[in-house]
A and B are shown apart, each in its own frame.
Chain A
Amino acid sequence: MKVATQTISASECLLRMYDEHHEIEDYQKGVPRWCTGCGDNAILTAVQRLCRDEGLLPEKTVFVSGIGCSSRLPHYMNTYGFHGIHGRALPVAEGAKLARPDLDVFVNTGDGDCCSIGAAHWIHAVRYNMDLTMMLHDNQIYGLTKKQASPTSPIGTKSNTTPRGSYLEALNPLTVTLGISNVSFVAQVVDWIPEVLYQVISAAFHHKGFSFIRIVQRCPEWLPKQMDPWMHDPQRVLLLHHENGLEISPALAKVYTKMEEHDPANMNRAREIASSDDPIPVGILYRDDDIPCYEDVRHDSRLRTAEMVKNGLNAELDKFTVWPEGATHA
């Protein structure tokens, strides 16, 4: 758990005697409005399990999202959350982390939110390498707006914007991310293997730096059966395992026999694996713990007093003030 790396004062230890245990229900808020059968539910459960297992304090945890089905996730977490505007989840999360590095910040975004309108933020968030955990819920379609092609829709996908089938090859979020400077954690999972989903999110959470997880997710409403060939044939899933990556349980290894030992430090092999969409690679593709985090490099040690915030705001507002003739700028 991340707290272990911070200094624990005597008073904090005292507190932990009383308050350290949470149930999954403690992190649940409201009833999800997602369609029945939606893969977003699996992701929600995985992050709630993570919060419970790591004993994350709700008031020290933030989920930030943009717009889309995926981005409703903060509504269902009993933590702090920010349902932002389209494509801007990452800048909001970066701001929160920079101002409050003590918080655990998660970002939930979709293939439209991240790979289309928010693509610029995605690239720079990887380069900034702030200590955030980003989950890209990739269901290959705009679902909330009722079926339009997204950047990751496979070529030929028929949708309301592409009635004759989409014309372009899908964008591969893994190869893009692996090509950005300072990339420090890239993983891929599928929503229908909850055990691996949880393990990867947990590994991403423990990684110090920007963790990018692409979650291949079913959309039972607009693209039903799209992922069935992979879901019903374990041979079309390639499990990546390594002593520095995932440990595959014997039960899982019995079902998913197609496996590869892949060292997450090997960037060249990671890029090769990332290029494959059949079988779908599942596991940690790349990890580098030595990339510095932006918030550490740029941390401002000044105390953010009310006065400092007020002066800062005033200084900003003064830039747009029309000073009467003859008046001097105080």
Chain B
Amino acid sequence: MQANFQDQIAFYLTGRREGSKLKPLDGSYRPALFARVSDLASLRYDLPLILNVSGTADRVVLSLSHLIDEAVESLGQSADRDRIARHGYKLELELRKGSTANGSDDFGKMWSDAAARLSDNADPSMQDSAQKLWSHFDVAGTLVDADAEFPSRVVYHAWNAVQDTKAKRFRKKAERLLQKLRDILDAEAIGSAAGRAPDRLRAGVGTSFGTTFDFNAMSRILVEGKPGFELSGERRTRIKGLIEVLERQRFYPVGTNVDEPYSFAFFKCSDALDAYQERHDEAVELLRTLAIADLETKGEYRESVHDVLFDGFGSNGLDAEELAELPDYLVCTDAGTLDAVDTAQMVELLAAGLPIKVLVRTDDILEPSKVAEGHVALGLRARQLVDTAIGLTDVFVFQSGASHLFQMRESMIRALSYDGPALFSVFSGATGHNADMPPYLVAAAAMESRSFPALVYDPSAGADWATRLAVSDNPNLDDDWPVHSFAFEDETLQAGSENLAFTLADFMSMDDRFYGHYAIVEESYQSDGLIPISEALHADVTGLPSEVPYITLVDDKLTMQRAIIDDRLLLETRRCLTMWHSLQELGGIHNSHAERLLAKELKSRSAEAAANVGAAEVAQTEDAAVAEPTPAAVAPIDEPTAEDHGDDPYIESARCTTCNECTNLNDRMFAYNAEKQAYIADPDAGTFRQLVEAAEGCQVSIIHPGKPRNPKEPGIEDLIARAALFN
């Protein structure tokens, strides 16, 4: 036994399998946690997806399973619910098998074909169930399953849906502006002498009354009686120019424009950049046209002011808000074909803030490093781009495995709707090195093993990392690895279970390029010296190791096996974990700065608490009377003081109801201020009698006549007595 363990130690240190007790790994083994998913087509899960072209933005991408569940749910408690549900699940299974085997096709066609196939064989009521379920779907589009092209299809479809929404918004605006601009020209034509000519008037009345009116007289009266309305030559030319630009543009063709609309989807960044530069002048012209047309239709365009401003429109570059009116560019690339020049160009494009969405599809994240033997790249190209893009701060970054595109569809749509550049890094799972493992499972395993974690960096969410970066789509977010309970039976058929972590080493065991780093240890030679890899990662080993890390696999008969791994693989797994820790920190989990600050705060609080205990003991021996807290000083309210008017007449203007009593009496003596409330404009502009009569007539009694300025005015004694009532 001891000699065999030496072989295992030797394998761990050298990767060389000595002795017959260590068996090589091959495609018949899979990670133990995958024991139950040998036949994916028989399981219910997110895929296949329907790329829906009808309905709202939240229904752009739909899961077949969800769709059938929704339809069954909407049947309520009808008598045939169970039968329809059963048939629905059968159809779902049939479709899943079909899409796995034959690829994507029109959903409606696949649904009816599947119903026809199942009806022939078994149940005649199948067609009825299929029709009833279909009537609840309200979808149209293509059914797609995971393959190498899957990420491109999904992102392209969602991009198209977002662009459709933008196009509708733009067309609505452009058509409204065109309508109004044409209305201005029409109004001029109708208001002109030619528009009021007898023939035009006759045509306007129609044939029934063609002889009832004298159109010559009518024309004469109209032309002479009402001045014509004519646009200035500049304005007419300008409006015609605006209409011409709006009708001719090829960004979002409106009306009868027969020119081929521009395409905005590309496979290479350089092509997208060329197109952008080529169309730049047209884009500036179109945006300027929209701005001028907006002013023009409101009748607010002033040549003296706006001509200069619009002459220089766009000369300082277009900002994201302006560019958001026009379509976004989409570039779908394959990370495997990206060279250094492509990468540099892509980074430049993203850094320029152009409205461009770049999809980088990665098929192989375990590509061996070209410079260091045994070192794996872990999606190096995509990772470099993602790290750089996040560093650019205003690029929306979305990373996910193809398996999680459906779950993360909201973030994907948000990224596509973002008014700036966005980078999508998606792992397809179609590596070509995973025996018969479906791409969906490979992509899901990559996310589980932390080798291709999900992340969303949304610059529009806020100003700090906490709001911008989200890693919450990853499983077991707080832990090093996702840990699942694994149930089994032992030799005596007794049930048992153990918790298994899914690590990078488990993920790599599925890839034929790394079989050599594993060795299956027969059960009779397994010793206490074997430890799970999740524990080995944290072991501090100096000198010759006494333990060998292993992972748990199952063979094609579903028998559990332990596979030891070599030192190289342990290092790679540890490196993957370090990268995950780094991402966790950025996402606010186990953040080292926060944890240090927390420790410091806890320490200072415990010291403060200890000091308080000491102070309280001292206080008990003294007079413990505590003074009542002093109420905060209340600032005195400045009350308005009555202005001293002396003997002069005055009006409490703020209370004036603008009833015209006083101004009708003497509009030089009484006038309205800027608030349209009365005041005494000139006390010498009338008699004291008028002042007194105004005071008596004032509905709200706010006129105060004061003392007479002319003591010789007739009847002054009586007037003074009457004025006294109001002073």
Contacts and interface: CB of A to CB of B under 8 A. Distances in A.
B654 A42 contact: no
A51 to B, nearest CB: 12
B675 A24 contact: yes
B615 to A, nearest CB: 41
A14 B661 contact: no
Given A15-B300, A18-B302, A250-B640, A39 B659 contact: yes
B639 A250 contact: yes
Contacts of B175: 303
Interface in A272-306: 301, 303, 305-306
Contacts of A32: 660
B110 to A, nearest CB: 35
A87 B305 CA distance: 47
A11 B654 contact: no
B657 interface: yes
A311 B603 CA distance: 79
B404 to A, nearest CB: 35
Contact of A41 (B291, B655, B657): B657
Instruction: Give the size category of A's interface with B.
Output: 35 or more
A231 B701 CA distance: 10
A20 interface: no
A194 interface: yes
Interface in B632-690: 637-640, 654-661, 664, 674-677
Contacts of A49: 675-676
Contact of B654 (A39, A194, A254, A305): A194
A195 interface: yes
Contact of B658 (A9, A23, A45): A45
Given A9-B294, A14-B309, A250-B639, A42 B172 contact: no
Contacts of A254: 639
A222 interface: no
B179 A38 contact: no
B660 A15 contact: no
B677 A194 contact: yes
Contacts of A12: 294
Interface string B102-131: 000000000000000000000000000000
Interface in A1-55: 9-12, 14-15, 18-19, 23-24, 32, 36-39, 41-42, 44-45, 48-49
B352 interface: no
Given A45-B676, A49-B675, A250-B639, A37 B654 contact: no
A3 to B, nearest CB: 13
Contacts of B654: 194-195, 251
Contacts of B640: 250-251
B657 A192 contact: yes
A220 interface: yes
Contacts of A303: 172, 175-176, 179
A11 B658 contact: no
Contacts of B305: 14, 18
A76 to B, nearest CB: 11
A191 interface: yes
Contacts of A23: 674
Given A220-B699, A231-B700, A39 B676 contact: no
A15 B676 contact: no
A193 interface: yes
Interface in A299-327: 301, 303, 305-306
Interface residues of B, number: 36
B699 A218 contact: yes
B545 interface: no
Nearest to A17: B305
A164 interface: no
B677 A45 contact: yes
A329 interface: no
A287 B659 CA distance: 31
Nearest to A24: B676
B674 A24 contact: yes
Contacts of A38: 659
Nearest to B697: A37
Interface in B175-190: 175-176, 179, 183
A179 to B, nearest CB: 31
Given A48-B676, A303-B172, A193 B655 contact: yes
A301 B309 CA distance: 32
Nearest to A19: B300
A192 B699 contact: yes
Contacts of A305: 179
Nearest to A49: B675
A142 B644 CA distance: 43
Nearest to B637: A250
Interface in B298-325: 298, 300, 302, 305-306, 309
Interface string B165-200: 000000010011001000100000000000000000
B295 interface: yes
Contact of A42 (B183, B638, B639, B658): B658
Interface string B260-287: 0000000000000000000000000000
B291 A10 contact: yes
B658 A44 contact: yes
5 tightest A-B CB contacts, nearest first:
A42-B657, A45-B658, A45-B676, A37-B659, A41-B658
26 contacts: A9-B291, A11-B294, A14-B295, A14-B306, A14-B309, A15-B295, A37-B660, A37-B661, A41-B657, A42-B659, A49-B676, A193-B655, A194-B656, A194-B658, A194-B677, A195-B654, A195-B655, A218-B699, A220-B699, A231-B699, A231-B700, A232-B701, A250-B637, A250-B639, A305-B179, A306-B179
Given A37-B660, A48-B676, A306-B179, 7 more contacts: A19-B300, A37-B699, A39-B659, A42-B657, A45-B657, A49-B675, A301-B172
Interface of B: 172, 175-176, 179, 183, 291-292, 294-295, 298, 300, 302, 305-306, 309, 637-640, 654-661, 664, 674-677, 697, 699-701
